[in-house]
A and B are shown apart, each in its own frame.
Chain A
Amino acid sequence: MSILSLKNVTKNFGGLTAVNNVSFDVEEGEILGLIGPNGSGKTTIFNLINHFFPVSSGDIIFKGNNITHKKTHEIAMLGIGRTFQVVKPLKRLSVADNIMAAAFSRESTFEGAKRVTREVLEFTHLDHVAHQKAGGLPIAGRKRLEIAKALATRPTLLLLDETAAGLNPAELDEAIDIIRAIRSDLGITIIIVEHIMKVIMNISDRIHAIAYGTTITEGSPAEVAANPTVIEAYLGSDYH
């Protein structure tokens, strides 16, 4: 059964159509890759799913509920967590307190939130920097903190927005391991937006490709990588 369905979702900003009639389903337990060139509307799709912007038309169904018009915090409470491409740590709080704030979404007691925080810190390999100020973390740490905050809200679906960008090869491998473990150990369904092909092709079960806000193809990583329209969208038509 699909956990999330986008049905003919369109978003206009003034005269510009950022997302045009996009539909896809995400199956429970899978990792769906969302790819497309810069400005093709990937982050906008995430912003529509968790309702940072209202959709212009279309519907978003999560676990059988229509969440199209739900508020951002309600969507988070229904079980959709997300990270931000431009990381948004609570700068002046410690790493642990960042996660605490998120953990309180499911835990009403201080002790409960603290327990969740400890688990998440360990899972995301952030325990050694738990008491540092989040604003002072290097980029790899801040990217992982994004994931940690999202995990602390106990999501069933996680939207990862470029969590691997700007990482060195060693950090990249660590990030891939963590993302895989999120699915295998925690059983969380994932939609991932990523520019680094090594990551997205390795991790995803299926890939949905868009360009200029419109779907161009969907399929297994191998199929999508071989699709001429995808190659053209990425590299320009002169490439052939």
Chain B
Amino acid sequence: MHNDKFISKSEIGIFIFALVLPFIFDFSPYIQGLLIFVMLWVVLGTSWNLLAGYTGQVSFGHAAFFGIGAYAAGVPFFLFKVSPWWGLLFGGITAVILGYLLGIVVFRLRGPYFALGTLAAAEILRIAFGQEEWLTNGHNGILYITTWVSKYPYYFIILAIAAGTILTVKVVMRRREGYYFLSIREDEDAASAIGINASKYKNISMGLSSFWAGMAGAFYFIYMGFIDPETVFALHNISIISILVGIIGGVGTIWGPAIGAIIMVLLQETFRSAFFGFAPQWVSGMHAFVFGLLVIFVILYLPGGVVGDWDLIKKKLHLKRKSEMKK
């Protein structure tokens, strides 16, 4: 873990590629939108992965941070016409505060109870934000005319947030905090016996994780121009998606969630468009079904995810090619 270079050449290459991508190709607004969604899911998955994959605290309620970040941009605008762009400042911080408060409750719980506790907390927020109309405009949501028509500026913003999230994980995992996160994940009792204050470091992990999820939420409002509680606090479309992105790409790996996000967005769009019009129309409703199947497959056969079990995948493919060559 500590012998490889901090940032490899290929990682710089990937970043530069993502940066110049819009200048090379003339993408349609549809593709531009997809790129933005990939990045959004990269942020969510990577932030979930820091808390769950590296620290072992499997959150089922990441929508709480995403949603509170979105409303940190939305509420000041709704009440006082404050520009939603301030959300990029408030979103992350608000989410960290929420994370700290939540931590007081949920970090008393271990394993599956922690998962249920976070899930319940996010659901309570979803219901509450739907009810408190004076603050949030309830289920009518908050609407705002977005600043730019072009999607490109938004792409660069979310790319920066995604880079920030991944860089955070990379930096943290080389420091004392990272070693402590892993120790807590592997065995909390053994961790405390070597002097690790488990609850302090779980809070740090939660803080970093919720910050970036909150930033993603704030960005979502700025970019979409509309939020309501059912969208930004959604159990399936936010909390569960964060988990799926992490599991499919690879829990506890730096690039896993990014790969997972790309795979899932590609898959979703392939099905939504009914294989770009080549398949019958009914296929278009099946993307969530395919996600479910994919999760089942990955948990059964690739428990480390695409990145974590990459060697296994290579070996399988290699063996197959070999046996084909013999024929």
Contact = CB atoms under 8 A, between A and B. Distances in A.
Interface of A: 50, 52, 71-74, 76-77, 81-82, 84, 88-94, 97, 100-102, 104-105, 108, 110, 113-114, 149-150, 152-153
B193 A82 contact: yes
Contacts of B176: 104, 108, 113
A90 B183 contact: yes
B121 interface: no
A56 to B, nearest CB: 20
Contacts of B1: 93-94, 97
B198 interface: yes
A50 B190 CA distance: 11
| Chain B interface SS verdict (over half) | helix
A94 B3 CA distance: 12
Interface of B: 1-2, 174-176, 179-180, 182-183, 186-187, 189-198, 252
Given A93-B1, A114-B2, A101 B179 contact: yes
**Among the interface residues B1, B183, B194, which one has the most CB atoms of the partner chain A within 10 A?**
B194
A97 B190 contact: no
B183 A76 contact: no
A72 B186 contact: no
Q: Which of A74, A88, A89, A91 lies at the interface centre, i.e. has the most chain B CB atoms within 10 A of its CB?
A: A88
Given A110-B174, A110-B175, A101 B192 contact: no
A101 B189 CA distance: 14
B190 A152 contact: no
B186 A105 contact: no
A104 B2 CA distance: 14
A200 to B, nearest CB: 22
Contacts of A73: 192, 195-198
A114 to B, nearest CB: 7
**3 interchain residue pairs of minimum CB distance:** A76-B195, A88-B190, A105-B195
A100 B2 contact: yes
A97 B183 CA distance: 10
A91 B183 CA distance: 9
Q: Output the residue of A50, A73, A76, A94 with the most chain B CB within 10 A.
A: A73
A46 B197 CA distance: 19
A162 B88 CA distance: 55
Nearest to B196: A73
Q: Which of B2, B179, B180 has the most CB of A within 10 A?
A: B179
Contact of A88 (B182, B189, B252): B189
Contacts of A91: 186
Given A73-B195, A105-B194, A90 B187 contact: yes
Given A88-B187, A97-B179, A104-B180, A153 B2 contact: no
A149 B198 CA distance: 17
17 contacts: A52-B189, A71-B192, A72-B189, A76-B194, A81-B194, A84-B190, A88-B193, A90-B183, A90-B190, A93-B182, A94-B1, A97-B182, A101-B196, A105-B196, A113-B176, A150-B193, A153-B195
B234 to A, nearest CB: 32
Q: Which of B174, B179, B195, B197 has the most CB of A within 10 A?
A: B195
B194 A102 contact: yes
A114 B1 CA distance: 12
A76 B192 contact: yes
Nearest to B190: A88
A150 B194 contact: yes
B262 to A, nearest CB: 25
